[in-house]
Amino acid sequence: MLQFVAPVGRPLKCLLVALACLSLGSQDVFAGDTDFGRPLQTDLANTIAERGLSVIIAVKNGDHAGCLQEFGSFLDDGLSPSETLMDLGSNTKTVTAAAVLTLVQNGTLTLSTRLGELLDAVPDDKAAITVSQILNHRAGFPESVGSDEEKIGKEDYLDRVFATALRSPPGKTYHYSNVGYALLAAIIENASGLPYETYVVEHVLAPADLEPIGYDAAYEESRSAISGRSWLTFFQRTPIHRASWGGRPVGWNLVGNGGAVTTAGNYVTFLEKLFAGKIVDKKLILDGFRGSEDGADTIDYGHGMVRLQETDQTVFTHAGENILFSSDWRYVLESKTIIFTAGLGDDALRTMNSVVDSLSASGSACRQ
């Protein structure tokens, strides 16, 4: 799994202006998904189809009905875009961060609680690392300590992480780290007394009337996105549990930091409710963006997401990919607009550029 991919495409100001004036319809087109009642604008849909992108796109603006549409190989899988389970990649981190913040909100731990207080046998060089530093990728952990497909259990994984040297002193430097978010998953388990997925589904998502996001708790092979052909899959098209996880169960190189699944619509609704304060206090999210202790960071990474700041508008974003799948999202704070793309290869990232282009040109993503 690759690290967070920064947004690309038209300048941020063009994106912000366009998103602020989205006009979305309300007709129910996709049965069972009334929050996403229209397809995309014809010109945008034609552009994506002509580029041969295999992707599902969901757009939502506040209380208005949004649009949801599939392209490429997803048209031939026998599933509607509201049914297909997508690999979230590193966007799993946003869910894990939300789960940690629920534990902060209920007083189980604090952002300043140290790793040595939360997990057993933490070595001296890592014991003083705080929850906040892990959330913000400023703990000094390496990006990874093994492959996504490795079948490694939690205890063996923790032993490996604790035996691995830090890249930098805690709190001083931004280093994107899948390891840190796997540790957060372990912290969630220790603090709650529940498996990571159980806590996320029952104590983060269900209270907000959200469908499961996760691994076995959310996964149905019959609804899985199917990969493209790659040397990683022996040039076969395979479902997520084989393509991304290397089979079941999921190993701890992925737990909490990548590879979780859900539908495009459910992830958009998760973001919508997260930023509406229906999962945790919105202030806990917005207060996560403070830079590093030495002020040297160029990426404003907070609690499971990046903030892009303009003079009068703010965009939150995150993206992720492996060789086989990708996903990308944007949330505009002022207009409450959400864009989510998920697809094969890097198609989700390439699609986001097309959506931004369409919004910049016409001010609308969804067909009237």
Decide if pLDDT at 16 tops 80: no
pTM over 0.85: yes
Spatial separation of the C-alpha atoms in residues 240 and 263, rounded to whole Å? 13
**Tokens at 7, concatenated:** 């947004």
Strand partners, 340: 58, 329
Spatial separation of the C-alpha atoms in residues 315 and 290, rounded to whole Å? 16
At 227-254, the pLDDT tens digits run 988 877 777 889 999 999 999 999 999 9
Phi, psi dihedrals of residue 265, rounded to the nearest 5°:
-65, -40
For the stretch 67-72, contacts whose Cβ atoms lie closer than 8 Å and that sit 24 or more positions apart, written own/partner, are 67/24, 67/25, 67/36, 67/37, 67/38, 67/39, 67/40, 67/365, 67/366, 67/367, 68/30, 68/33, 68/36, 68/39, 68/264, 68/265, 69/39, 69/40, 69/45, 71/45, 71/343, 72/343, 72/344, 72/347
At 157-181, the pLDDT tens digits run 999 999 999 999 999 899 999 999 9
3-class secondary-structure state, position 189: helix
Decide if pLDDT at 11 tops 60: no
Decide if pLDDT at 28 tops 90: no
Decide if pLDDT at 8 tops 80: no
Taking all residues of the chain, what is their mean pLDDT, rounded to a whole number? 88
Decide if pLDDT at 2 tops 70: no
Q: Residue 120: CB partners within 8 Å, gap ≥ 6?
A: none
Closest CA relative to residue 349, chosen from 367, 327, 323: 327
* pLDDT at 160 (0 to 100): 99
Domain ranges of the chain: 96-196
